[in-house]
Amino acid sequence: MIASLPMYWRADTAQGWRGFWLAVQQAAPDLALPDLTPPDDLPTDWYDHWQRPDLALSMTCGLPFRSRLKGRVRYVTTPDFGVTEQPGYYRSVIVMRPGERPQGARRLAFNAPDSQSGWAAACAFTNQTDGLRITGLVETGSHAASMAAVATGRADLAALDAVTWRLLQRDDPHAGQVSAVAHTAPTPGLPLITARDHDPAPLIAALGAALATLSDDDRRQLGGLRGFAQLDPAPYYAQPLPPPPDA
């Protein structure tokens, strides 16, 4: 089996995620859960990892979950980071250089075309914001790189996952060179998934038991993890698919 929790894994959070996962393993000894595989050790194409028949648990993004992974994996639960009033939901923070507003012709930095928070949310925000026109795209590979592109003038705005924004504000020098100017509409947060033929119930119980062992400092280190929300997958599937960047 293999397991990963890659989406909020950074140098300053890796130890925290490993500690949390150890508590999950201890809460469910009968599952014989493997140790976490760090993101750098995953296949270049994470879809190969997410669709493995021996996947114990992983964290994916809402856009892949409702597109390429639909019907190929089993939903387990959704971490709740207290980003919105609705448990299990999150949103993106629109960042620009200080003093600028999301109006007129702007260049958008985005992490990846299959990112709900960086691409799909940015597309929806653009469509809903009068006077904003995206006239150039800069694909960066990560939210941190998108923020840096805005800070250094390669792009004018970016949509950053709100939990990632929290983490970047701790120690990324570019965070002090941009301002949060708006938020996107809430959508279901990053789902935890397992292989399609696995029973999610023991995992849900183990995750809840492990969370109860974490201190407030532990939870802050992970980005503010508050709990887990059992969402119906239907709201994920109901979100519109964004156009490809080259459309």
DSSP code of 95? E
List, for residues 209-242, the tens digit of each pLDDT value.
Answer: 999 999 999 999 999 999 999 999 999 999 999 9
- Check residue 247 and give its pLDDT: 65
How large a percentage of the chain has pLDDT more than 90? 99
Average pLDDT over residues 181-206: 98
CATH topology of domain 2-87+188-238: D-Maltodextrin-Binding Protein; domain 2 (3.40.190)
C-alpha distances out from residue 205 to 24, 198, 199, Å: 9, 14, 11
Outline which parts of the chain fall under CATH 3.40.190.10.
Answer: 2-87+188-238, 92-185
- Check residue 120 and give its pLDDT: 98
CATH superfamily of 92-185: Periplasmic binding protein-like II (3.40.190.10)
Chain-centroid distance of CA 76 in Å reads 16
Q: Is the pLDDT of residue 64 over 70?
A: yes
Structure tokens at 185: 């509409």
Q: Is the pLDDT of residue 28 over 90?
A: yes
- Tell me how far apart the alpha carbons of residues 229 and 70 are, in angstroms, rounded to a whole number: 19
- Check residue 242 and give its pLDDT: 97
Query: What does pTM read for this prediction?
Result: 0.96
DSSP-based three-state secondary structure for 153: coil
DSSP-based three-state secondary structure for 59: strand
- Check residue 224 and give its pLDDT: 97
pLDDT-derived band at 208, boundaries 50, 70, 90 = very high
Question: Cβ atoms within 10 A of the Cβ of 30, count?
Answer: 7
Q: Is the pLDDT of residue 177 over 70?
A: yes
Backbone phi, then psi, for 109, in 5-degree steps? -95, 135
- Tell me how far apart the alpha carbons of residues 105 and 159 are, in angstroms, rounded to a whole number: 16
Edge-to-edge strand list for the sheet holding 104-110 = 132-139, 104-110, 157-161, 92-96, 179-183
pLDDT-derived band at 246, boundaries 50, 70, 90 = confident
List, for residues 80-131, the tens digit of each pLDDT value.
Answer: 999 999 999 999 999 999 999 999 999 999 999 999 999 999 999 999 999 9
